[in-house]
Chain A
Amino acid sequence: MSNTKTNWQLVREGILTDNTIFRMAISLCPSIAVTSSLRNGFLMGAAVLFVQVMVNMTVSAMRNVIHPKIRIPIFMLIISAWVSVTDMGMAAFAREAYRQMGLYIELIVAFASILAKAELFASKNKVVPSMFEGFGMGVGFLIALCIISFFRELLGRGTLWGLEIIAAKPLLIMVLPAGGFLTTGLLMGFFNWVDMHYFGGKGAGGASGH
């Protein structure tokens, strides 16, 4: 199966229509955990972006060599190799953030979305479209994490990227784990509402779960 969409269409789809967090609601696990500050959310998003692009490119470059019967274990190996690279890179260059979210970086390996992209797209397409597809998905993920962590850090700590914006601490609950769920739920509902009112969508975003 070859792909007829242009590269930019692929990027657009990854960011808007197929946004991993708000539209498809997969790979939520480690991502919500780190969004209590904007910097951690951004770093997590950047790590996922890197892993996704590299995995897509590797899988796509090797797609003619991989035997179809053992493709899933091979994909898992490729993913865990790139996650290990990211993990060690973060440990070396971003020590402070790594101390807070090291476990969650390691758990990128279990992201359903990365395996899904490798299986559904990269294993059937050429290297360049796969790279763009991974890039779009990664950027969509990065943006979603930044939006969530923007609200959580601003409302919970009154700071943004560590800089003080509001002197008081309006809603301490936002930096607690509970705030992560509440923010994500409210934002998801908000995007569904926007979709229903302005774009005529059915508001089915994230209804499938899993």
Chain B
Amino acid sequence: MSNESIRLFQLFISASLINNFVFTRFLGLCIFFGVSKKMETAIGMSITFTAVMVISSAISWFLFNYLMIPMNITFLKIVVFIGVVATFVQASDTIMRKVAPTLYYKLGVYLALIATNCIILAVPLISSDEGYSFIETLVFGLGSGLGFGLALTIMASIREKLELSIVPRPFQGLPIAFIVTGLIALAFTGFSGLLTL
């Protein structure tokens, strides 16, 4: 492998495991706790999330590098990125409803939920801060999306079991979900020594 592809692989591992969005960066928690109750929704959500993340970070990269840097308006990046993400999600919602109705009925619900989610917005913000190249941005988006999907799937499978167990009443619902997440996060700290970037 060449040096470049090794670096991309490192970036991918770092985005998906070491700096996992949910467990070490605390992003996307609202969605994470909201949809991790059932395995099926968790999988649908992860697919939608990964796709939206890769595409919207690619669009934002072009805007940032070819429009905002030449025009010297990088201070507007929050406004621009949230506009890009919201527009893209809305557009794909409309297009999907016309072009692929079956897919829309499976995944459309999740699209509406993620329009202004912090995790979707974080990918373009981080990659513009770090000055990633186009390929790096794509890999970073893909890694982050898969990492989020992994977190959702783990959590959903635990919560399906949790439904059957007896939890003290004050801790039912979210508090126990938080504690479970804390324990998984502890396990994920083990990845931090995997490689150094």
Residues of A with Cβ closer than 8 Å to B?
25-30, 32-33, 73, 76-77, 80-81, 83-84, 87-88, 102-103, 106-107, 109-112, 115, 173, 176-182, 184-186, 188-190, 192-193, 196, 203-207, 209-210
Contact = CB atoms under 8 A, between A and B. Distances in A.
Interface in B99-114: none
B151 to A, nearest CB: 12
A54 B29 CA distance: 25
Size class of the B contact interface (CB-based, 8 Å): 35 or more
Contact of B172 (A73, A115, A207): A207
Interface string B131-157: 000000000000000000000000000
Mostly helix, strand, loop or mixed at chain A's interface?
helix
Contacts of A88: 75
Contact of A29 (B27, B78, B86, B176): B27
Contacts of B176: 185, 189
Contact of B76 (A26, A27, A84, A205): A84
Interface string B57-97: 00000000000000000011011001100100000000000
Given A83-B78, A84-B78, A88-B75, A181 B171 contact: no
B182 A185 contact: yes
Interface stretch (B3-11, B39-47, B121-129): B121-129
Given A87-B78, A177-B185, A181-B182, A206 B29 contact: no
Given A84-B75, A190-B170, A192-B170, A185 B27 contact: no
Contact of A30 (B26, B79, B169, B186): B26
A115 B121 CA distance: 16
A92 to B, nearest CB: 12
5 A-B pairs with least C-beta separation: A185-B178, A181-B182, A33-B26, A182-B182, A207-B173
A181 B175 CA distance: 9
Interface string B1-43: 0000000000000000000000111111111011000000000
A118 B79 CA distance: 17
A206 B117 contact: no
10 contacts: A76-B86, A81-B79, A110-B118, A115-B116, A176-B189, A177-B24, A185-B171, A192-B171, A209-B34, A209-B177
Contacts of A176: 185-186, 189
Contacts, number: 142
A189 B79 contact: no
Contact of A180 (B26, B31, B169): B26
Interface of B: 23-31, 33-34, 75-76, 78-79, 82-83, 86, 116-119, 121-122, 125-126, 129, 168-179, 181-183, 185-186, 189
Residue of B78, B82, B129 ringed by the most chain A CB atoms within 10 A: B78
B75 A109 contact: no
A28 B177 CA distance: 13
Given A176-B189, A209-B33, A209-B174, A109 B169 contact: no
A25 B169 CA distance: 17
Contact of B186 (A173, A186, A196): A173
Contacts of B126: 103
Contact of B82 (A29, A87, A109): A109
Nearest to B122: A107
Given A32-B26, A76-B116, A115-B116, A178 B174 contact: no
Nearest to B119: A29
